Amino acid sequence: SQTIHQWPATLVQPVGSPLSLECTVEGTSNPNLYWYRQAAGRGLQLLFYSVGIGQISSEVPQNLSASRPQDRQFILSSKKLLLSDSGFYLCAWSSTLRGERGTDTQYFGPGTRLTVL
């Protein structure tokens, strides 16, 4: 069965510090991978998605970046955190079966609570 891991679970970082959040998926190959953020009082916002190694699409301008160094590894980074980067970060995966784009279920990880002070 497939599982998705995220770490760390919680993180408190000072403004201006770097960030690295990691997401890994087990039990599937060539998944689509996604990073979402939920800011306080708001819905889930798609930040990045990836359809393959080294292929990253950014959805919103921001000071965050994403990388996919391996098939089942997705990393969210920042060189210098801002207060507005605080939120709950969720990684998700879906299968890449052709013809089912947009109807594939996305499976979410446990999330990382990031507080920037």
The binding site for another protein (CB under 8 A) comprises 32, 34, 36, 41-46, 49, 51, 59, 90, 94, 101-103, 105-111
- Residue 76 CA to residue 20 CA, distance in Å, equals 6
* Composition of the chain by helix, strand, coil, percent to 5: 5, 55, 40
Which one, 19 or 33, has the nearer CB to another protein?
33
Q: How far is the CB of 102 from another protein (least distance, A)?
A: 3
Which one, 81 or 89, has the nearer CB to another protein?
89
Which one, 47 or 81, has the nearer CB to another protein?
47
Which one, 15 or 39, has the nearer CB to another protein?
39
Q: How far is the CB of 17 from another protein (least distance, A)?
A: 27
Residue the block writes with tokens 């299968």: 95
Q: How far is the CB of 42 from another protein (least distance, A)?
A: 6
Q: Which residue from 83, 93, 91 is spatially nearest to 117, judged by alpha carbons?
A: 83
Residues 6+ apart with CB under 8 A from 35: 23, 46, 47, 48, 49, 66, 74, 76, 89, 90, 91
